[in-house]
C-alpha cells in the first residue's frame, strides 16, 4: 500500500476501497465519502426540503462521521445525546459529543436518563433492549417537543445487513422498520427517522473521522454483545467486496405499521397499554 498512488491526484494513497476498486489519498477520500453520503441521501429521499433535522449522536465514529458529513454537505443540524448512565463510557462519550458540537458549531442537547429515575447501569439483564427503548423514547419525545421534523441516526450498511441476517437465521419476522432508509411518522406523536449512512460502511466512516480528526469515543460500550453477526457480514464482505452495499440496495420496501395506541401512563405512542419505557420506569418505582 505504501507505494499506491491516489487515483485522483497522484498523491500517496491512504486507502484502497475494494468495493469501488479505487485508491485515494486523505483529502480525495473525504471528498469521495461526502459524495457517497450525498448520493445516498438523494437516492433514498432521506430528507425532505427545509426539514428541521436533529442528529442522534452517541460519541461513536458512525454518528460523528454522519454529523460532520451532513454539515459539510450543507445541512443545518442540531445534535441530541442521551446520557444513559453507563459509568465512564457515558462520560467519555459525552466529552466527545461536546467537542464534536464545537467543531461543527451545532447546538448540542443532552438528555439524562437519570432525570427519569434510573440509569442503564442499574438494569439487570437484557440491558441493550432497555437501552434501545430508552433512547428511542427520549429522542422521539424531545424531537417532537422541540419541533424537529426528522431524527437522523448513524446506522450503517452493516447494521442493516446484520440485523436482517440475524432475524432470518433466528426464524423471526425479518421485515422491520429498522431496515428502511427512512421511516415516516405513522402517528402525529412520532417523528420521522432517517439513516443518511444507509449505504455507507463502518470502515468508510472510520476513515472519514480519522482523515478529518473528528472527535469520537473508540471504546465499546461495556454491555455491547459480541458482534457475531457483524463478523459474519465482515467476512462475506472480505470474500465478496461490495456485498454489504449490494445487499442494502436490494432490500425491498415493505413497511407494515402496527395499530397506534397510546401509553396510559405517559401518553406516548405505544404498541401496548403501557409503553416499554414506562414499564422500565415502573421497575424502578418511578411511575
> Per CB under 6 A, does 77 bind ligand SF4?
no
Rg of the chain over CA atoms, in angstroms? 19
Contact between 217 and ligand SF4 per CB under 6 A: no
Residue 39 contacts by C-beta under 8 Å, 6 or more apart in sequence? 199
Q: Long-range contacts of range 95-103, CB-CB < 8 Å, 24 or more positions apart?
A: 95/59, 96/59, 96/64, 96/215, 96/216, 96/217, 97/57, 97/58, 97/59, 97/64, 99/215, 100/57, 100/59, 100/64, 100/67, 100/68, 100/214, 100/215, 100/216, 103/68, 103/214, 103/215
Residue nearer to ligand SF4 on the CB measure, 139 or 211: 139
Q: Does 206 bind Zn ion (CB under 5 A)?
A: no
Which of these ranges, 41-49, 69-77, 172-180, 261-269, lies near Zn ion under the rule CB under 5 A? Answer: 261-269
| Residue 65 or 275 with smaller CB distance to Zn ion | 275
- Among 37, 263, 269, 280, the residue binding Zn ion under the rule CB under 5 A is 263
Residue 52 has which C-alpha cell? 428541521
The residue (of 120 and 179) whose beta carbon lies closer to ligand SF4 is: 120
Interface mask (CB under 5 A) for Zn ion, residues 100-139, using x and -? ----------------------------------------
CB of 224 to ligand SF4, least distance (A): 4
Neighbouring C-alpha atoms within 13 Å toward the C-beta of 189:
13
Q: How far apart are CA 114 and CA 125, in angstroms?
A: 18
Closest CB to ligand SF4 among 26 and 121? 121
275 neighbors 264 (Cβ within 8 angstroms): no
CB-based burial of residue 29 (10 Å sphere; 0-12 exposed, 13-18 middle, 19+ buried)? buried
Assess 266 for contact with Zn ion (CB under 5 A): yes
Q: 11: how many CB neighbours lie within 10 A of its CB?
A: 13
Considering the rule CB under 6 A, would residue 286 count as an interface residue with ligand SF4? no
Outline where DSSP puts E strands in the chain.
15-17, 22-24, 53-56, 77-83, 108-112, 150-152, 182-183, 192-194, 261-262, 269-270
Does 36 help bind ligand SF4 (rule: CB under 6 A)? no
Q: Which CB sits closer to Zn ion, 251 or 265?
A: 265
Closer residue to Zn ion in complex, CB, 221/275:
275
Q: Which member of 186, 223, 243, 262 binds ligand SF4 (CB under 6 A)?
A: 223
Q: Nearest approach, Cβ of 285 to ligand SF4 (angstroms)?
A: 22
Q: Is 132 in the site for ligand SF4 (CB under 6 A)?
A: yes
Site size toward Zn ion (CB under 5 A) is 5
Which residue number, 55 or 221, has a Cβ lying nearer to ligand SF4? 221
Query: Do the Cβ atoms of 149 and 140 come closer than 8 Å?
Result: no
| Contact status, residue 68 vs residue 214, Cβ threshold 8 Å | yes
Does 218 bind ligand SF4 (CB under 6 A)? Our answer is no
Read off the DSSP letter of residue 260.
Answer: P
Among 79, 111, 200, 221, binds ligand SF4 (CB under 6 A): 221
131 binds, among Zn ion, ligand SF4, none (CB under 5 to 8 A by kind): ligand SF4
- The binding site for ligand SF4 (CB under 6 A) comprises 120, 127-128, 131-132, 221, 223-224
Amino acid at each position: 500500500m505504501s507505494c499506491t498512488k491516489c487515483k485522483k491526484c497522484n498523491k500517496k494513497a491512504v486507502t484502497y476501497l475494494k468495493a469501488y476498486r479505487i485508491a485515494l489519498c486523505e483529502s480525495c477520500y473525504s471528498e469521495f465519502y461526502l459524495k457517497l453520503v450525498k448520493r445516498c441521501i438523494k437516492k433514498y429521499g432521506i430528507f425532505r426540503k427545509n426539514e428541521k433535522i436533529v442528529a442522534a449522536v452517541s460519541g461513536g465514529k458512525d454518528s460523528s462521521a454522519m454529523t460532520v458529513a451532513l454539515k459539510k454537505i450543507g445541512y443545518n443540524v442540531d445534535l441530541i445525546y442521551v446520557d444513559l448512565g453507563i459509568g465512564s463510557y457515558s462520560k467519555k462519550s459525552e466529552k466527545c459529543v461536546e467537542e464534536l458540537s464545537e467543531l461543527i458549531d451545532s447546538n448540542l442537547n443532552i438528555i439524562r436518563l437519570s432525570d427519569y429515575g434510573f440509569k442503564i447501569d442499574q438494569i439487570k439483564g437484557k440491558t441493550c433492549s432497555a437501552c434501545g427503548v430508552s433512547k428511542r423514547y427520549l429522542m422521539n419525545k424531545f424531537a417532537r417537543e422541540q419541533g424537529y421534523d426528522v431524527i437522523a441516526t448513524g446506522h450503517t450498511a452493516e447494521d442493516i445487513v446484520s440485523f436482517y441476517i440475524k432475524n432470518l437465521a433466528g426464524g423471526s419476522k425479518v421485515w422491520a422498520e429498522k431496515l428502511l432508509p427512512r421511516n415516516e411518522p405513522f402517528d402525529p406523536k412520532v417523528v420521522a427517522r432517517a439513516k443518511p449512512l444507509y449505504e455507507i460502511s463502518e470502515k468508510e466512516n472510520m476513515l472519514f473521522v480519522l482523515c478529518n480528526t473528528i472527535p469520537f469515543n473508540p471504546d465499546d460500550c461495556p454491555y455491547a454483545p459480541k458482534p457475531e453477526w457483524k463478523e459474519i457480514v465482515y467476512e462475506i464482505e472480505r470474500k465478496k467486496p461490495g456485498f454489504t452495499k449490494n445487499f442494502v440496495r436490494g432490500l425491498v420496501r415493505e413497511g407494515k405499521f402496527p395499530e397506534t395506541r397510546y401509553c396510559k401512563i405517559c401518553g406516548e405512542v405505544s404498541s401496548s397499554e403501557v409503553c416499554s419505557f414506562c414499564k422500565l420506569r415502573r421497575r424502578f418505582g418511578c411511575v
